[in-house]
Amino acid sequence: MFFCAISGEPPQDPVISSKSGHVYERRLVQKFISENGTDPVTGEKLEESDLVSIKASPAAPPRPPTHSSIPALLTALQNEWDALVLETFTLKQQYNSTRQELSYALYSQDAASRVIARLMRERDAAREALANVQASMGISATPGGDVEMSDQTAPPGSVLPENVIAQIDETHQTLSATRKKRKVAPSCATPAQVKTYAPKHTIPSLHSASPAGITSIAISSADPTQFLTGGNDGIVQLYDRSTDKVLASLKGHAKKIHHVAFRERDGQPTLLLSAGADKLARVWSLDAASEEYRPRTIIKTHKGEVTGLAVHPSSTLLFLASQDKTYSIHDLNDFSQLFRSAPGEEPYSSLAVHPDGTIVAAGTPTSTIHVYDVRSGDIAATLVPPDGSPFTVNSLSFSENGYHLLAPDSLSSVGIWDLRKQKLGHSIPLGDGFKVNKVVYDYSALLLGIAGNEGARIFAHKTWEELAQFQEGGEVSALAFGPDSKEIWGTTGREVRIWGLPE
């Protein structure tokens, strides 16, 4: 390291005298030369041209004398520590300020959420009050929706458009021709196999615990591992059995859900459908971008609870039945209302569409089943059980061959109606204490299932032999047959139970 011959310190801009060989700080030696004209050390004559710059690598200067003693070092460390403490104190103040701001923001958000919830309740109450006033005055409410609601509606009692009637006829001809030739597939479960069915799998803790209970179930035909449930909590859940995960939890209904269904059609997006006690039917579809199910539309046609929901065999029409004594038909492409029946004499408590798609059956709380021609809306048949005791027809199911209709025919029995003769073909007694919640035919029309307060029961069609009873979990609120009837799905409380062949 070089030291200036004048100051004795490391020079910042070192130069060397070509005459004496001494190193100087440039500014000091230049000042000395300008005043004396000689070398500061030797006294020889020296000019600035005799100075040569030194090109040396920079080196760290030595510590100043103030940092060369222990007291000076301790003082420097104390100063550094004080600066660090002050900086920490400042950061702590900023942290507390930010925390207070975040707490205030969270409180404001919670307060806003409560206000929004209260306003929504007041809005729903106002809508219901308005609907009641309009109903009492005989004024038809204008259907509206929160999302993509179509303004196309059909007045009560109108007929279906000609293109829709043509589509129904085409579907009827296609399905009737294949159904008459179709035989039971060898892969379908036989009555003998059903007798051996045992508990196979249980999926617990679905939906909310309050109010608890699953009210309806539907199994996907495209992917039988996925199923749809509706509950007393007003939520629709899509579940994947293969991964044991809830794929979607869809909220929107204000009251319990009566029915859920899939609309699955090649080349069209899958739709999830639901109807409930809040007088609404809702439709969700899969958003390709987010891969989540989004609300598609809300159907507010009816002024009473929607008690029936069914998809037409063409997969393009949706049927709804309501306690307001009407049923309606909607287009599943643009969700417009195509038809709404004129108000009948009785509320509707259930609904089912014939496998050929030409007739629709609606049950009532007074034991009667009305069968309508879908194309004209005219009554095709009225089925009244011979037993005069009143009861609610809360579930209907057509056999896949189209010849029979399964429905409760008394408080403690179910009947099989022969549609060709329009009379009760057979009645199955279930016991005085049995209350029917759901009736369903399987796809082969060889089996029929009944869900009730004492579990689920499976019978053989034609022989009427009882093949199985499933009482695990108590009351079964909904029932469905899996593919080829190899499994039977039932809902008990917040659980979905599956019965099948022993493993």
pLDDT in tens, 426-444: 999 999 899 999 999 998 8
- Give the span between the Cα atoms of 57 and 45, in whole angstroms: 30
Q: Categorize the per-residue pLDDT at 136 as very low, low, confident or very high, splitting at 50, 70 and 90.
A: low
Q: Give the pLDDT confidence score for residue 210 in this predicted structure.
A: 83
pLDDT above 50: residue 149: no
> Does residue 357 contact residue 172 with C-beta atoms inside 8 Å?
yes
Q: Where are the alpha helices (DSSP H) in 385-456?
A: none
Query: Alpha-carbon torsion 342, 346, 348, 353, what sign?
Result: negative
> Does residue 390 contact residue 384 with C-beta atoms inside 8 Å?
no
Tens-place pLDDT, residues 114-124? 999 899 888 88
For 18, 55, 248, 298, the CA distances from 149, given in Å and listed in that order, are: 97, 83, 22, 7
Query: Alpha-carbon torsion 489, 492, 494, 500, what sign?
Result: negative
Looking at residues 174-181, what average pLDDT do you find?
Answer: 76
Q: Give the pLDDT confidence score for residue 184 in this predicted structure.
A: 82
Q: Give the pLDDT confidence score for residue 143 in this predicted structure.
A: 41
**Token pair belonging to 387:** 């037993």
% the chain with pLDDT above 70: 92
> Does residue 430 contact residue 451 with C-beta atoms inside 8 Å?
no
Q: What's the one-letter identity of residue 339?
A: F
Query: Alpha-carbon torsion 234, 313, 219, 262, what sign?
Result: negative
Tens-place pLDDT, residues 79-111? 899 889 899 988 999 999 999 999 999 999 989
Q: Give the pLDDT confidence score for residue 153 in this predicted structure.
A: 57
Q: Categorize the per-residue pLDDT at 218 as very low, low, confident or very high, splitting at 50, 70 and 90.
A: very high
Question: What is the residue-wise DSSP string for 332-344?
Answer: TTT--EEEEPPP-
Q: Categorize the per-residue pLDDT at 290 as very low, low, confident or very high, splitting at 50, 70 and 90.
A: confident
Q: Categorize the per-residue pLDDT at 389 as very low, low, confident or very high, splitting at 50, 70 and 90.
A: confident
> Does residue 35 contact residue 59 with C-beta atoms inside 8 Å?
no
**Token pair belonging to 272:** 């999830």
Q: Give the pLDDT confidence score for residue 144 in this predicted structure.
A: 41
State which H helix or E strand residue 177 sits in.
helix 162-181
Identify the CA nearest to 440 among candidates 273, 218, 227: 218
More confident residue, 65 or 176: 176
Tens-place pLDDT, residues 391-425? 899 999 999 888 899 999 988 899 999 998 889 99
**Token pair belonging to 152:** 């196309």
Looking at residues 439-453, what average pLDDT do you find?
Answer: 93
Task: Identify the weakest region by mean pLDDT among 66-75, 208-217, 422-431, 453-462.
Answer: 66-75
**Alpha carbon 439 to chain centroid, angstroms:** 27
Q: Give the pLDDT confidence score for residue 467 in this predicted structure.
A: 94
**Alpha carbon 140 to chain centroid, angstroms:** 32
- Give the span between the Cα atoms of 453 and 437, in whole angstroms: 7
Q: Give the pLDDT confidence score for residue 168 in this predicted structure.
A: 92
Q: Give the pLDDT confidence score for residue 292 in this predicted structure.
A: 84
% the chain with pLDDT above 90: 58
Q: Give the pLDDT confidence score for residue 156 in this predicted structure.
A: 63
* 1-59 shares its CATH topology with 162-500: no
**Token pair belonging to 488:** 């039977």
Q: Give the pLDDT confidence score for residue 135 in this predicted structure.
A: 59
- Give the span between the Cα atoms of 451 and 488, in whole angstroms: 11
pLDDT above 90: residue 227: yes
**Alpha carbon 482 to chain centroid, angstroms:** 22
Identify the CA nearest to 408 among candidates 440, 456, 445: 440
**Token pair belonging to 263:** 């609309």
Q: Is the backbone of residue 226 left (phi > 0), alpha (psi -120 to 50) or beta?
A: beta
- Give the span between the Cα atoms of 77 and 66, in whole angstroms: 13
3-state class of 315 per DSSP?
A: coil
pLDDT above 90: residue 351: yes
User: What are the boundaries of each domain within the chain?
Assistant: 1-59, 79-137, 162-500
Q: Give the pLDDT confidence score for residue 140 in this predicted structure.
A: 44
Residues in the chain: 503
Q: Give the pLDDT confidence score for residue 158 in this predicted structure.
A: 66
Q: Which residues pair with 469 in a beta bridge?
A: 457
- Give the span between the Cα atoms of 261 and 276, in whole angstroms: 12
CATH of 1-59, one of 1.10.10.10, 1.10.940.10, 3.10.129.10, 3.30.40.10: 3.30.40.10
- Give the span between the Cα atoms of 372 and 360, in whole angstroms: 5
pLDDT above 80: residue 48: yes
- DSSP letter at 431 equals -
Q: Give the pLDDT confidence score for residue 464 in this predicted structure.
A: 93
Q: What integer best gives the mean pLDDT of the chain?
A: 88
- On whether the 162-500 domain is CATH 3.30.450.40, my answer is no
Identify the CA nearest to 437 among candidates 421, 456, 451, 426: 451
**Alpha carbon 143 to chain centroid, angstroms:** 24
Q: From edge to edge, which strands make up the β-sheet containing 281-287?
A: 257-263, 271-276, 281-287, 292-299
Q: Categorize the per-residue pLDDT at 2 as very low, low, confident or very high, splitting at 50, 70 and 90.
A: confident
> Does residue 231 contact residue 206 with C-beta atoms inside 8 Å?
yes
For 171, 179, 181, 354, 500, the CA distances from 176, given in Å and listed in that order, are: 8, 5, 9, 11, 31
Look at the block and give the residue holding tokens 């108000």. 343
Looking at residues 279-292, what average pLDDT do you find?
Answer: 86
Number of neighbouring beta carbons within 10 Å of residue 472: 15
Looking at residues 35-54, what average pLDDT do you find?
Answer: 91
Looking at residues 45-52, what average pLDDT do you find?
Answer: 91
State which H helix or E strand residue 28 sits in.
helix 26-36
pLDDT above 80: residue 473: yes
Q: Give the pLDDT confidence score for residue 439 in this predicted structure.
A: 95
Measured CA angle at 211 (ends 205, 217), to 5 deg: 55
Q: Categorize the per-residue pLDDT at 320 as very low, low, confident or very high, splitting at 50, 70 and 90.
A: very high
For 189, 408, 444, 481, the CA distances from 186, given in Å and listed in that order, are: 8, 30, 10, 17
